[in-house]
Structure 1
Amino acid sequence: MQDTDTVSQVTFDRSDARSSIAETLVERMEETIRGSSLGPGHRLGTKEDLRRQFGVAPATLAEAIRVLRLRGVLDVRPGPGGGIFVAEQSPLVRLGHDMLQLGADGTSITHCLAVLDVLDQEVALDAAAHRTEQDVAELTELLERLRRTWPDPAESQRCNWDLHRRLALISPNVLLRTMYTRLVDYISGELGQAITAEDFRKGSADRLQVHVDLVDAVIRGDQRGAEAMALRHRGLTRPDR
C-alpha cells in the first residue's frame, strides 16, 4: 500500500517534496482561520487534534506550524490548557502577510504599478541620501547591464526590475523597502507576462535615459535630481498608457 499524506481530501505521494506538502497545509490552515473568522486567542486544538483533522504526518504538521509561527499567524502554548492558538498579530505583521497574499487576491498589474509610481519618489530620495560605495558599484553594474540588454525587451525588462529592486534596498526605511521589493517581485514574477514587449518599449529612448539620469543622481547624492527623475519616470511602466 502506498504511503501518503492527505490534507483535507488532497493526497500526496511520499515521493513529493515534504516542503510542498507542508506548504499546502499552511494554505489550508490559513484558509480555515480566515474562512471561519477565527480571532486572536482562538484555540485550534492540540497538535494531535490538528494532525487528525488534516490527515497529515507529525513532521508535516510541525513544519506547517513552524512557518505559521514565523508569519505571526499561530502561537504554541505549552502545559494544561495549551495547544495551538490563533496569534495576536501586530499591524506590521498583518501588512507583511497581506503583501505575501497579493497573488491570491488577484491584484492587477495596473494597481501594483500605480502604487510603485507613488513609492518611486521616496525610494529615489532615500537612495540618493544613503547610498554607499558598494551601492554605487552595484548600481553602476546594473545600469551597464540595462544598457547592454536594452535591444532585447525581455532581458531588459528583467534588468529594469533588478535595478529598481536594488535602489529600494538602499533605503533605511524597512517598511518602504519591504513594500517596494514585494511589489517588484510580484510584478516581475507573477505578472511578468502581462507587460508585453510593446508595452515595455513605449518611449524606448526616453525610458532608458530616465534610468541613466536617475542612477547618476543617486550616485552623486543629488536628492532633488533623483526625485525629479522619479517623477519623470512615473507612469512609464503602465501597460495602459
Structure 2
Amino acid sequence: MTVLRPVRAGNAFEETVERLLQAIKLGVVPPGGKLPPERELAVRLGISRVTLREAIRALSDAGYLDVRRGRYGGAFVTYRPPEPDAGTARQAVNAMGPGELADALTFRLAVESGAAQVLAASELDAAKRELLLRRLDELNAAGLDDYRRLDTAFHLSIAELTGSGLLAAACADARSRVSDLLNAIPMLQVNLDHAAVQHRAIVDAILAGDPEAAGRAVAEHLEGTAALLRGFLA
C-alpha cells in the first residue's frame, strides 16, 4: 500500500486523485475490492476527510469506483484493465512519445534493479523471506485475468521489503508510467514461462544475499519486457 502515501498540501485534491488512481490501476486494490475505510485512508494520505470524499466522488463519476452506503458500504473498485491489444499499446506510446517511453523504461530499470540490490544486501528475517516467496508463488499460480496485478504485487514487494518508503514510492511510480503499456501487451505462454524463470532467479539471488546477481537478474528481466514491448510496437 506504499502508493497510498501522504500527499502535499498545495495540491491535495489533485494528488489524492492521483494516489487513488495509481492504487486502482496498479491493482493494489483489485477489481471488486474495497478501498481502506475513510478514516484510515485520510490518515494514510495526510488529508482531511472532506478532500478524500471529493476525490472519491470524482473517481466515482469517472467510473473507477462504486460508492455504496450503509453498514457494508464503502468505495469499491469498478475499473478493469482493457483487454491486451497491440493497437492500444501503440496509441499509448504515441501519447507518450518515444523519448518519454525510453525515459520511463530507463527509470524503471534503475529503481527496480537498485531495490533488488538493496534488499539482497539486507538482513532478511523469516517473515520477509516468507512474504517474498508467497508473492512469487501467487504470481506463478495466477490465471491470465489476474497475472498483471500479481506481477505488480511481486515487483513492488521487493521495494517495500527494503523498508525505504522513498524507494518503494519510486518503484510504484515507475510501474505506473508503463502500466497501460504492459496491460496492452498480449500475454504469450512462452513469455510467461520465461518470466517465471527470471522471477525465480531474482528471488534466489535476493535470498542468497547476492546484490550483484539480484540487480543483474532484474535488469535481464526488465530488458526482456522492453524488447517484447518494442516487438509488438514495430
Please give the TM-score of this superposition, normalised by the length of structure 2: 0.50
SS in 1 for 2:121: helix
Paired position in structure 1 for 2:34: none
Write the letter of the residue equivalent to 1:118: A
Kindly indicate whether the alpha-carbon contact (under 8 Å) linking 1:129 and 1:221 is maintained by their aligned counterparts in 2: yes
Paired position in structure 2 for 1:178: 169
Going from structure 1 to structure 2, the CA distance change for 1:134 and 1:185 (only over 3 Å counts) comes to farther
1:193 to 183, 192, 197: 183
- 1:193-237 CA deviation, whole Å, 9 max, x = no partner? 333324xx5633322101001111112222222122122213222
Going from structure 1 to structure 2, the CA distance change for 1:176 and 1:133 (only over 3 Å counts) comes to same
Kindly indicate whether the alpha-carbon contact (under 8 Å) linking 2:132 and 2:157 is maintained by their aligned counterparts in 1: yes
* C-alpha RMSD over aligned residues: 3.6
**Which segments of 5 or more consecutive residues in structure 1 lack a partner in the other structure?**
1-24, 28-60, 68-102
**Which segments of 5 or more consecutive residues in structure 2 lack a partner in the other structure?**
1-11, 15-47, 55-91
Kindly indicate whether the alpha-carbon contact (under 8 Å) linking 2:113 and 2:219 is maintained by their aligned counterparts in 1: yes
Matching of residue 119 in structure 1 with residue 111 in structure 2: yes
1:1-12 aligned within 5 A: none
Paired position in structure 2 for 1:155: 146
> Looking at CA atoms only, which structure, 1 or 2, has the larger radius of gyration?
1
Paired position in structure 2 for 1:203: 191
TM superposition shift of 1:109: 6.2
Going from structure 1 to structure 2, the CA distance change for 1:26 and 1:224 (only over 3 Å counts) comes to closer
SS in 1 for 2:223: coil
Instruction: Choose between structure 1 and 2: higher strand proportion.
Output: 1
Kindly indicate whether the alpha-carbon contact (under 8 Å) linking 2:148 and 2:183 is maintained by their aligned counterparts in 1: no
Q: Percent identity?
A: 19
Matching of residue 166 in structure 1 with residue 154 in structure 2: no
CA distance in 2 between partners of 1:175 and 1:193 (Å): 25
Matching of residue 134 in structure 1 with residue 122 in structure 2: no
Paired position in structure 2 for 1:240: 230
Instruction: Choose between structure 1 and 2: higher helix proportion.
Output: 2
CA distance in 2 between partners of 1:210 and 1:231 (Å): 10
Write the letter of the residue equivalent to 1:114: T
Of the two structures, which has the highest relative contact order with CA contacts closer than 8 Å and spacing of 6 or more?
A: 2
Length, aligned pairs only = 144
Paired position in structure 1 for 2:206: 218
Going from structure 1 to structure 2, the CA distance change for 1:234 and 1:160 (only over 3 Å counts) comes to same
Write the letter of the residue equivalent to 1:181: A
Going from structure 1 to structure 2, the CA distance change for 1:157 and 1:62 (only over 3 Å counts) comes to closer
Write the letter of the residue equivalent to 1:236: G
SS in 1 for 2:146: helix
